[in-house]
Amino acid sequence: MAQEGASPPVVMDETPVLPGGAAATEALPTLPGAADAVLPAPEAKVDTDLVTLVRKAHPVVQAVMGLLALAVAAVLTVFLFKAVEFTLAFARLRRAHADLARAEGLASLPGACPLAEGTKAAEAEVAALPGHLTSDLRASARERLDLALDRIEARAVMQLRSGTGLLASIGAVGPFVGLFGTVFGIMNSFLAIAATKTTNLAVVAPGIAEALLATGIGLVAAIPAVLLYNAIMRRVAAFRHGLADGRAELMARFSRELDRRMLATAGLGG
- Domain residue limits, the chain: 65-97+113-126+162-178+218-270
215 closest CA partner among 170, 188, 175, 187 = 175
* Spatial distance between the Cα atoms of 58 and 80, rounded to a whole number of angstroms: 33
pLDDT of residue 14: 52
96 closest CA partner among 161, 84, 231, 88 = 88
Which residues make Cβ contacts (< 8 Å) with residue 202, sequence separation at least 6? 43, 44, 46
pLDDT of residue 25: 44
Q: Cα–Cα distances in Å, from 123 out to 118, 172, 184?
A: 9, 46, 64
* Spatial distance between the Cα atoms of 11 and 15, rounded to a whole number of angstroms: 11
Confidence of residue 104 (pLDDT cuts 50, 70, 90): confident
Instruction: List the Cα angle 164/167/171 in 5-degree steps.
Output: 140
Amino acid 262 reads M
Confidence of residue 219 (pLDDT cuts 50, 70, 90): very high
189 closest CA partner among 216, 208, 209, 171 = 208
Mean pLDDT throughout 230-254?
Answer: 92
DSSP assignment string, 246-264: HHHHHHHHHHHHHHHHHHH
3-class DSSP state of 105? coil
Segment of 123-132, 186-195, 233-242 carrying the highest mean pLDDT: 233-242
Amino acid 163 reads G
